[in-house]
Chains A and B, each alone.
Chain A
Amino acid sequence: MANAEKIVLSDLITACEQNIVSDMGGEKVMLSVRNGNYYNLGAVGGRIWDLLVSPVTAGTLIDELLKEFDVERDVCERHVISFLEHLRKEGLIVVRPEHSAALRA
């Protein structure tokens, strides 16, 4: 199944629009209109969601986080890729391989 492929840095990440997001005490909480589930993204997850306001590659997303947070690149990459894969599993984002994104440009 293509959806289960591991996310790589060149993949283009797009947030699904069918989500209602609210800030609660510094953490971001989201309702997926599509599946009716509520999610807590936490503080760092909420910042990642903010950066997905427009389609961005995983690599660009990580570069931006490295400017803002005190974290080693390899740790950041591992954590963010894992988080993005969880978002994809829940249907909250769409991941397109680089070549697919280039075709749409």
Chain B
Amino acid sequence: MQKKAWLQPTLEVLDV
């Protein structure tokens, strides 16, 4: 199985 590219996970707080 080909592995997916890694991106640093971030938690973005959305300003609704």
| Interface, chain A (partner B; CB < 8 A) | 29, 37-45, 48, 67-71, 75-76, 79-80, 83, 86-87, 90, 92
The 8 Å CB contact of A44, one of B3, B7, B12, B14, is B7
Question: Closest CB-CB distance, B13 to chain A, in whole Å?
Answer: 6
The 28 sampled A-B contact pairs (Cβ below 8 Å) are A38-B16, A39-B11, A40-B11, A41-B9, A42-B12, A44-B6, A44-B7, A44-B8, A44-B9, A45-B9, A45-B10, A45-B11, A48-B9, A68-B4, A69-B3, A69-B4, A69-B6, A70-B5, A70-B6, A71-B6, A79-B8, A79-B9, A80-B9, A83-B8, A83-B11, A86-B11, A87-B11, A92-B11
Chain B interface size band reads 10 to 19
Interface residues of B, Cβ cutoff 8 Å to A: 3-14, 16
Q: Is the CB of A39 within 8 A of B7?
A: no
**Distance of A32 from chain B, by nearest CB (Å):** 10
Question: Please, which residues of chain A bring their CB within 8 A of the CB of B8?
Answer: 44, 79, 83
CB distance from A40 to the nearest CB of B (A): 4
